[in-house]
């Protein structure tokens, strides 16, 4: 294993210190338990949107803390859910009278621990709601989940609900908006290589040089099937088909297309794939009105990609376009 680290046991803590040093004008990091908090939190009169999960998916979630997005992020160890006390600490650090919305990816540990934290916070008089995102179309149940996994759609959900909270929407309204997004977003992922978790020291699964794992999750969980390496045209066509037919998306729909690197796929390949996806959607009469391309929800150094489609309307488009100032997303400010 070759990684730029000191000790596998301290990777997350040292990375968080670097995040805080690089973006002190946007966020702060608190220790024991570790949480990433918007620098001006709590923001009076505004809902706190909070998310989190295992580390190794950067910039998700800490890179999305800031104006117009998350009030706080709760990082666990690499590929490990954060503890309830850490989630509760994030709630207490950011939540005022307007309440808080917890965004939870559908992984068993995340769901249980965020649920416990929400109950603890509610017992202290805070109004805390939670939503679970399960946008992966690949498998119904997997290594980490009961039901579909929460993957790339999480980035879009955090941006849109964060924008609604920033403009002063009530907790009821932000929660309803979150459920709307969850109902209209779908994703699929593929892997060309496996990630290596620092404390494990070896790839998390074996994949031959001439194989692709189709339908993986963000931890490298098994997908639908293992196939031979093929052309980008064929691979992206299969990914588009899987996503479009699941909702299903229809001719005339306006969408946001998110083409994501799993960490090790370079932009030259990612833009190539994005261009193919845009062409295939246009051929179906699906209108791509907004785009996001880059490594925004990763799996360490895994080579691979995911495609996410969100069906847009005027409100969702307005909230996507709204100003955001975080380490990983910044526009309009």
Q: pLDDT by residue (tens digit) across 96-131?
A: 999 999 999 999 999 999 999 999 999 999 999 999
Residue 332 confidence class, pLDDT cut points 50, 70, 90: very high
pLDDT at residue 145 tops 70:
no
Report the pLDDT value the prediction gives residue 143, as an integer from 0 to 100: 64
Could you give the residue numbers annotated as active site?
Answer: 57, 219
| pLDDT, position 180 | 98
Query: Which residues partner with 30 through β-bridges?
Result: 35
Write the pLDDT tens digit of every residue in 245-284.
Answer: 999 999 999 999 999 999 999 999 999 999 999 999 999 9
pLDDT band at 142 (very low <50, low <70, confident <90, very high): low
Q: What percent of the chain has pLDDT over 90?
A: 92
Strands 287-294 and 304-311, by their bridges, are unpaired
SS3 185: strand
146, 76, 193, 184 alpha-carbon torsion, rounded to 10°: 50
pTM: 0.97
Give the tens place of pLDDT for each residue, 160-198: 999 999 999 999 999 999 999 999 999 999 999 999 999
> Residue 172: which H helix or E strand, with range?
helix 171-183
pLDDT at residue 153 greater than cutoff 90: yes
Task: State residue 7's pLDDT score.
Answer: 96
Range of weakest confidence among 24-33, 123-132, 195-204:
195-204
> What is the bridge-based pairing of β-strands 225-228 and 48-55?
unpaired
Helix (H, G, I), strand (E, B) or coil at 294: strand
- Based on the number of CB atoms within 10 Å of its own CB, is 248 exposed (0-12), middle (13-18) or buried (19 or more)? exposed
Q: Are 255 and 310 in contact (CB under 8 A)?
A: yes
CB-facing half-sphere around the CA of 278: CA atoms within 13 A: 15
Lowest mean pLDDT among 2-11, 38-47, 144-153, 273-282: 144-153
- For residue 104, report the phi and psi dihedrals to the nearest 5 degrees: -120, 125
């Amino acid at each position: 294993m070759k990684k730029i680290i000191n000790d596998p046991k301290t990777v997350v803590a040292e990375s968080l210190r670097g995040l805080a040093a690089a973006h002190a004008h946007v966020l702060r990091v608190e220790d024991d338990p570790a949480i990433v908090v918007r620098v001006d939190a709590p923001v009076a009169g505004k809902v706190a949107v909070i998310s989190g999960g295992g580390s190794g998916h950067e910039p998700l979630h800490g890179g999305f803390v800031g104006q117009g997005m998350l009030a706080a992020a709760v990082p666990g160890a690499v590929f490990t859910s954060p503890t309830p006390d850490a989630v509760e600490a994030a709630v207490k650090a950011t939540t005022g009278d307007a309440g808080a919305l917890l965004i939870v990816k559908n992984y068993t540990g995340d769901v249980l621990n965020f649920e416990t934290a929400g109950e603890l916070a509610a017992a202290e008089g805070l109004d805390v709601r939670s939503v679970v995102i399960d946008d992966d179309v690949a498998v119904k149940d997997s290594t980490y989940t009961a039901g579909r996994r929460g993957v790339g759609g999480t980035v879009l959900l955090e941006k849109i609900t964060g924008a609604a909270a920033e403009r002063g929407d009530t907790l009821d309204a932000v929660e309803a908006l979150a459920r709307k997004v969850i109902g209209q977003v779908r994703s699929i992922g593929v892997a060309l290589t496996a990630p290596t978790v620092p404390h494990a020291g070896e790839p998390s699964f074996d994949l031959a040089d001439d194989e692709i794992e189709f339908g993986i999750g963000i931890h490298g969980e098994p997908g639908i099937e293992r196939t031979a390496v093929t052309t980008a045209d064929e691979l992206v066509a299969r990914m588009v088909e899987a996503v479009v037919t699941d909702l299903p998306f229809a001719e005339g729909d306006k969408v946001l297309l998110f083409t994501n690197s799993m960490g090790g796929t370079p932009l030259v390949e990612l833009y190539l794939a994005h261009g193919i996806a845009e062409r295939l959607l246009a051929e179906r009469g699906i209108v791509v009105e907004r785009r996001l391309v880059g490594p925004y929800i990763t799996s360490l150094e895994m080579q691979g990609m995911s495609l996410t489609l969100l069906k847009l309307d005027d409100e969702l488009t307005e909230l996507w376009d709204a100003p955001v100032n975080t380490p990983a997303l910044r526009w309009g400010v």
